[in-house]
Amino acid sequence: MNKNAFSVCRLDTIQPYKPSNQVAWFLPPELRPLKLDWNESPLPPSPSVMNAVRKFLDHPNALNWYPDANSHDLRAKLSEHWKVPEECVQTYCGSDSALHAAVRIFTKSGGAVLMVSPTYDNFRIYALEAQCSVILDGPKDIYSLSGAELSALVEKHKPQLVYLSNPNNPTGWLVPAKEIEEVVRRFPETMFIVDEAYAEFSNVTVIPLAVQVPNLVAFRTFSKAYGLAGLRIGYIIGSPGNIDYLNLIRNGKNVSMIGQVAAIAALADQDYLKEILTRVRKGEQILEAGLTRLGFPFRASPANFVLVKFPDAKKVQDSLVAQNAFVRSMSHLPGMEGYLRITLGDEEQMTRFMVALEKSL
Ligand SMILES: Cc1ncc(COP(=O)(O)O)c(C=O)c1O
């Protein structure tokens, strides 16, 4: 126990989630840092988002009023977009805070939470905070997961709640929606939290099912393909009853008005989203052609990142940092030793990245 702290902390043995370092913020923008370490979009959002934000800032009370705590307009637009009733949609200050709420609402203290692993580690902290026992288990081949394997994991551990990132960060598996549906229907007593943070890239979603069944909620974000990570906007889609439960502890004031306005504009500009997806896939081709030429094994993903294996990943990463290029090491995860995760940018960014990479060898 830390002597310089209050003597009771229920989480004093927890191993915290390690955020990426954000030194790019403190570099002059003209250096054009390649921030490819946290799966944000390295490209700015739609120009119509920028316009909507500027217009919003002209409102005389833009910053001194609390936001619309019901996110009325944004929820209406999301309901239209997904063709689901408005009462099936709720917004959050990033999908992280929705995940945080979900584990508190859908588990009992002491309940078992299965995180299909290796996966996005933040959820582990939320589950531990909710006094759950966390089971980290996954498929034999950590880079692919089938519905049958998911089913076997649920059968084996009989958890109260399952956390599934689909596509998975960081290993890139993608379980088809139909296969998830079979598992969700097979285990009606288990709550399935399907984190679709990267689903704009993969185009696979369980949203239509989530509004029908009581044991599944889909989690989405504007932080990735829509390029709004800095504004912290996420949302969930589930049955009206589950949304009601989640509303018991939701603080709507946490979803900023500027974020709501930006998300509405981003959602309205689907052409820009398509353009971003195309640009990112072109960037991916540059990266993968370069890696092939240099002979480094890599794993593509249906999301916005590529995993690359290096004989000395630490040396490569350090040398990239010295050139203001930031990537994420995955070496701490079993089965991912020597892997760096590179968030995809467009052709220009990936070309610059390859130049930096070659210099780092
Ligand atoms: C799988 C997954 N879920 C959720 C998040 C966080 O999303 P948000 O910015 O909406 O909190 C991330 C961010 O990296 C992620 O990889």
Residue 1 has pLDDT above 70, yes or no: no
Mutating to test ligand 1, I would choose from 22, 122, 228 the residue with most ligand atoms within 8 A of its C-beta, which is 122
pLDDT (tens digit per residue) in 158-168: 999 999 999 99
What's the gap in Å between 229 CA and the centre of ligand 1?
Answer: 9
Task: For residues 245-257, give the mean pLDDT.
Answer: 97
> Contacts by 132-135 with C-beta closer than 8 Å and gap 24+?
132/103, 132/107, 132/160, 132/161, 135/159
Please provide residue 216's backbone torsions phi and psi, each rounded to the nearest 5 degrees.
-150, 135
Residue 138 has pLDDT above 90, yes or no: yes
Task: For residues 13-37, give the mean pLDDT.
Answer: 92
pTM of the complete model: 0.97
Domains of the chain plus CATH, in order, are: 23-45+271-359 (3.90.1150.10), 47-268 (3.40.640.10)
Task: For residues 65-74, give the mean pLDDT.
Answer: 98
The whole-number pLDDT of residue 164 equals: 98
- The torsion angle over the Cα atoms of residues 80, 83, 89 and 91, rounded to 10 degrees, is -40
Minimum-distance ligand 1 atom for the alpha carbon of 234:
10
What's the gap in Å between 240 CA and the centre of ligand 1?
Answer: 24
Residue 108 has pLDDT above 90, yes or no: yes
Minimum-distance ligand 1 atom for the alpha carbon of 221:
10
- The torsion angle over the Cα atoms of residues 210, 226, 20 and 332, rounded to 10 degrees, is 50
The whole-number pLDDT of residue 21 equals: 81
pLDDT (tens digit per residue) in 276-312: 999 999 999 999 999 999 999 999 999 999 999 999 9
Task: For residues 233-261, give the mean pLDDT.
Answer: 98
What's the gap in Å between 141 CA and the centre of ligand 1?
Answer: 23
Task: For residues 320-332, give the mean pLDDT.
Answer: 97
pLDDT (tens digit per residue) in 175-228: 999 999 999 999 999 999 999 999 999 999 999 999 999 999 999 999 999 999
The whole-number pLDDT of residue 7 equals: 81
Q: Are strands 133-137 and 112-116 parallel, antiparallel or unpaired?
A: parallel
What's the gap in Å between 3 CA and the centre of ligand 1?
Answer: 34
pLDDT (tens digit per residue) in 34-52: 999 999 999 999 999 999 9
Residue 20 has pLDDT above 90, yes or no: no
Task: For residues 243-254, give the mean pLDDT.
Answer: 97
- Where does the pLDDT of residue 3 fall: very low under 50, low under 70, confident under 90, or very high at 90 and above? confident
Q: Print burial letters for 148-170: b (CB count within 10 Å at least 16), e (below 16).
A: ebbbebbeebebbbbbbbbbbbb
**Alpha carbon distances (Å) from 250 to 87, 154, 201, 304:** 14, 29, 28, 30
The whole-number pLDDT of residue 19 equals: 84
Task: For residues 108-119, give the mean pLDDT.
Answer: 97
For the chain, what percent of residues have pLDDT higher than 70? 99
Mutating to test ligand 1, I would choose from 41, 96, 100, 202 the residue with most ligand atoms within 8 A of its C-beta, which is 96
Minimum-distance ligand 1 atom for the alpha carbon of 38:
14
Ligand 1 pocket at CB < 6 A: 39, 94-96, 120, 165, 169, 195, 197, 221, 223, 229, 234
Can you give the length of the chain in residues?
361
Residue 8 has pLDDT above 90, yes or no: no
> Mean pLDDT for the chain?
96
The whole-number pLDDT of residue 92 equals: 98
Residue 263 has pLDDT above 80, yes or no: yes
